[in-house]
A and B are shown apart, each in its own frame.
Chain A
Amino acid sequence: MTGVVRLIRLILRRDRVLLPLWVVPLGLLPSAYTASFKGVFTTDQERIAYAQVSQHNAGFVGLYGILHGTSLAELVAWRSGFITVMIGLFALLTVVRHTRTDEEAGRTELIGSAVVSRHAQLAAALITTCGASLVLGLLTVAAMIGSGMPAGGSLAFGAEFTFSGWAFAAVAAVAAQLTSSARTARAIAVAVLGACYALRVGGDISATGDGTLSWLSWLSPIGWVTHIFPYWSNNWWPAVLAVLFSVATAAAGVALLGRRDLGAGLLPAGLGRPGAAAWLRSPLALAWRLHRGLLLGWTSGFALLGLVFGGVAGSVVDLVRANSGLADIFGRLGGTQSLLDSYFASVAGIVGLIAAAYAVQATLRMRDEEQTGRAEAVLSTAVGRYAWAASHLVFSLLGPAVALFAEGLVARLTYPSAGVGGVIGSAVVQLPAVWVEAAVAVLLFGLLPKWSAAAWGAPAISLLILMVGETAGLNHWLLDISPFTHVPHVVGGAVAATPLITLTVVAVVVGAAGLAGLRLRNIPD
C-alpha cells in the first residue's frame, strides 16, 4: 500500500475545511439536545410524560427510532437517531469525492502514475473517512460524559455514530466501483442509505404496533446502530454486526477495484441510438432527458416511503385504541380520523423536507450544466436564457409535486381507511414550502453563482429546525425561518389557503429575482 499515508495527507489538506464542518457539529449536536431538554423540562414528571407520549408517537418513532426509557440520557440518544443518517450521508459523499470524482476528473490517473499502489487511493479515502467518523464518535462520548452522563452508555452512543459512518463509507467504496460516473456512484450510495433508513422506519414503527414487520429494522445498518440503545440496554452485538458489515463491504469494494480498468465501471456502458428521436428538439425535451432518471428515482423512493408510512398507519390506530388515556384525548379531538390526520401531518413534514432536497438537487443541475460548459453549448444556439432555465425549473418544481403525490397516493392505497384529503392532501400541501427552498437555489444560482451549493443550507436549516425545533424552545422567529413551519395541517380534508398562497408568492418573488440575475450575468461565471 505504497503512498497511502501521503494520499491521506492530501485528502486532509483538501478537506481541511469540509471535514470539520460536518464532524464537529454532528458530534456536538447531542450536547445541544441535552441542553435544550434540560431547559424545556424543568421537572422529571414533565420529561417522563414527554417520553411516554413519544414512545408511542409513530411519527417520532419513524423519524428518530424506538424509545424505551425516560431518562434524560436516553431521550438525548433517541432524539439523535436521525443523526446516524446524516453521518452516513457525509461519509459516503466523502468517499465518493476522493475516489470516483477524482477518477472521473482524471486526477487519479495523475496520482496513479506516481509511486502509489493501485488500491492506495481507495484505502486512503476509507481510512480518512472512518477516522473522521471515529473522531466524531469520540467527540460525542467526551461531550456526553462531560455533561454527566454514564460512561458506558456514552461509549455505546459514540459507537452508534462512528459505526454508521463506517458502514456507509464502505457502501460508497462499492458504489464507486460500479459506474464510471461520480454522480451515478453518489446516487447509488444515497439510494442504499435511503433504503436502509426506510427499512428502519418501517421496522421500528411496526414494532410500536403489532410488530409483524419489526424484522425490517434488522436488514439495515441504520437499524443495527440505533438498536444499540445507548443508556438503555447498551446492546453491543448489533454494533458488532455493523462493524462486520463495514469490513466485508469495504473488502468487496477493494476486490471490485482489482477487477476493473482505470476510468471504467463494472456496469457496462453500452451503445445507444445513432441519432436523436424526433421529439428531442427543444430545451424542454433535453431537460426531460437530463432529469428523467432523477424524477424516476425520487418518485420510486417516495412511493416506498408511502408504502412504509401507509403500512404502519394501522399500528398507530391500534396502539391508541389499546391505550385508553390516549384514545380519550384523541376522541375528544375528533376521533380516529383526527388521530390519523395528525399522524399523516407529522409524516408529511418529513416527506416535504425530503422533497425539498430533491428540488434543490434538481435546481442545482443548472449550475452543474454551467460549470461543465454544457450550458454554454445550449445557450450558443437559438435558446434564450429564460427558456433554458425554465426547462430545468419545470422539473425542479413539478418533480417534487409528482413525488409527493406518489407518496400520498401509495400511503392511501396501503391504508384505505384513511381519508383521501388527509393522506394525499397533507403530502401535497408541502409543495409551496418545497418551492420556496427551490427558489432560494434559483436566487443563489442567478445572483451569486459561486455560492450555488449553499442552497443546500435551506433544507439543512429546515431539517435542523425540525429536529431541534420545539424541544429546544427556540424563539418563534427562529422557527419561522423554515418555510415548513408555515405549512398548515390538513384537518378533516380542509386546509387554510392563506399560508399556502403566501409561501407560493414568496417562492415566485425570490425565484424571479434569481432569474433576473441570471439574465444579466456572465455565463460561465
Chain B
Amino acid sequence: MTEAIGAEGLIKRFGKVAALDGLDLHVRTGEVHGFLGPNGAGKTTTIRILLGLMRSDGGRASLLGGDPWAQATALHRRLAYVPGDVTLWPTLTGGEVIDLLGRLRGGLDPRRRAELLERFELDPRKKGRTYSKGNRQKVALVAALASDVELLILDEPTSGLDPLMEAAFREIILQEKRRGDRTVLLSSHILAEVEALCDRLTIIREGRTVETGTLAELRHLTRTSIHAELSGPPDGLATMTGVHGFRAENGKVVFDVDADALEPALRTLVAVGVKSLVSQPPSLEELFLRQYQRGDGK
C-alpha cells in the first residue's frame, strides 16, 4: 500500500514557541484518516506544512509522492483543502466561489456539484458576506468534494454545521469511502465523527504524535467501565491488575477495567454472584480524555 501523506519528525517553531515538536503522520492511499488533537495541538500547522504554505524547521514531509514546499503548485492540482475557518470574498456568491476554486484546482464535476448543493441545502446565489459560518463551511466543502482530486484535506470541516448537516457530511464521506478512489485526511476533535468515518487515526498533543493506528488497535488501549450489583463481597477485585478506580458500596461495585484484564475480572464477578450488570463499551472519548489529562498532570 502506498502512502499519500508521510511526515516524520516535523518541527515548526513560531518565535520561541514550538508548535510542532517531532510530529509523525502517515496516511495510506485510499483511506480516511482521522487527525485528532485538542485546540492548539498543531493540527492546522501540520496541514499548512503539508500544503506548502509554511516550511518546517525540521523533519521530513511528503505529499502524494512529492515535496510539499518545492512542488506545491503541481501537487495542489491533485488535492482539495477545506480550512477550519472559512472566509469568502464578500462580493462573490457561493456558487462563484465553488466554481472558481474548482477551476483553480483543475476541474469540477458539475453533476456532483448540483448533488452536493442539494444535499447540503445550500443557496449558491447568496453573497459571501451574507452566509453564516456553517454555510461558508458548506461552500468550501462543496467546492472540495466536487473537485476532481485524489486527496481531500479537511480541517475541522463540521465545526459550524448543525447536527442534520453533520449527518449529511458523514454520509457523503462514507460514499467517498465506498468509491475508494480518494484519500481523506480529516482533522477533528469530534470523536463520534472520527469513530464513524475513519479507518485509521493519529492523535497528537502539544505538537507530538501520541497514538496512531486503526480504531480497533486504539480501542484495545481503552477501558470498559463496569457497574455491578453483587450477592457477596468482591474479594480481590480491588487489587487485581488492570482494574482502576474501584469503588464498593451497599453491595454495588463500580470500576474501569483494561481490555486484557476484562476476562479475569468478569470471572471474579461471576464467582461472587452477579444480580445486575451494566457495562459501557470502550470509547475513544475516554482514551482521548486520558491522553489529554496526562498533559494537565505536568
- Which of A's residues lie within 8 Å of B, judged by CB? 180-181, 183, 269-277, 280-283, 286, 289-290, 293, 372-374, 376-384, 520, 522-524
Contact = CB atoms under 8 A, between A and B. Distances in A.
Most buried by A among B51, B100, B103: B100
A522 B52 CA distance: 9
A271 B86 contact: no
B101 A274 contact: no
Interface string B122-143: 0111110110000000001000
A372 B77 CA distance: 23
B101 A523 contact: no
A373 B103 contact: no
Contact of B89 (A180, A273, A289): A289
A188 to B, nearest CB: 15
A196 B263 CA distance: 86
B261 to A, nearest CB: 47
A269 B55 contact: no
A356 B55 CA distance: 34
A289 B104 CA distance: 15
B85 interface: yes
Contacts of B129: 180-181, 269
B150 to A, nearest CB: 13
Interface stretch (B90-98, B183-191, B219-227): B90-98
A379 B83 CA distance: 12
B130 A269 contact: yes
Contacts of A181: 90, 129
Nearest to A520: B55
A399 to B, nearest CB: 17
B124 A275 contact: yes
Contacts of A277: 96
Nearest to B110: A275
Given A271-B125, A276-B95, A374 B89 contact: yes
B101 A275 contact: no
Contacts of A374: 87-89
B106 A382 contact: yes
A378 B104 contact: yes
Nearest to A372: B87
9 contacts: A275-B95, A275-B124, A281-B100, A373-B87, A377-B83, A381-B105, A522-B48, A522-B54, A523-B53
A382 B93 contact: no
B73 interface: yes
A520 to B, nearest CB: 8
B92 A289 contact: yes
A524 B53 CA distance: 8
Nearest to B75: A382
B101 A280 contact: no
Interface of B: 48, 51, 53-55, 72-74, 76-77, 79, 81, 83, 85-93, 95-101, 103-106, 123-127, 129-130, 140
A289 B91 contact: yes
Contact of A383 (B91, B104, B140): B104
A522 B104 contact: no
A372 B89 CA distance: 9
Contact of A382 (B55, B73, B123): B73
A183, A269, A272, A522: most-surrounded residue (chain B CB, <10 A): A272
Contact of A273 (B54, B87, B95): B95
A381 B127 contact: no
Contacts of A383: 73, 76, 104
Contact of A376 (B83, B98, B106): B83
A281 B91 CA distance: 16
Given A276-B96, A383-B76, 15 more contacts: A269-B129, A271-B126, A272-B93, A272-B95, A280-B103, A289-B92, A293-B91, A374-B87, A377-B81, A379-B53, A380-B81, A380-B83, A381-B105, A384-B72, A520-B55
Given A274-B124, A290-B89, A372-B87, A280 B53 contact: no
Contacts of A273: 93, 95-96, 125
Contacts of A372: 87
A181 B54 CA distance: 30
Contacts of A270: 127
A201 B137 CA distance: 49
Given A269-B129, A275-B95, A374-B89, A382 B100 contact: no
B264 to A, nearest CB: 52
A376 B100 CA distance: 14
Ranked nearest first, the 10 interchain pairs of A and B with the lowest CB-CB distance are A276-B99, A381-B104, A272-B93, A380-B81, A276-B96, A281-B103, A271-B125, A382-B77, A384-B73, A522-B54
Contacts of A281: 100, 103-104
Contacts of B105: 381-382
B99 A373 contact: no
Contacts of A373: 83, 85-87
**Of A274, A376, A379, A523, most B-chain CB atoms within 10 Å:** A274
Contact of A523 (B54, B93, B106): B54
A286 B89 CA distance: 10
A282 B101 CA distance: 9
Contacts of B96: 272-273, 275-277, 280
Contacts of B53: 376, 379-380, 522-524
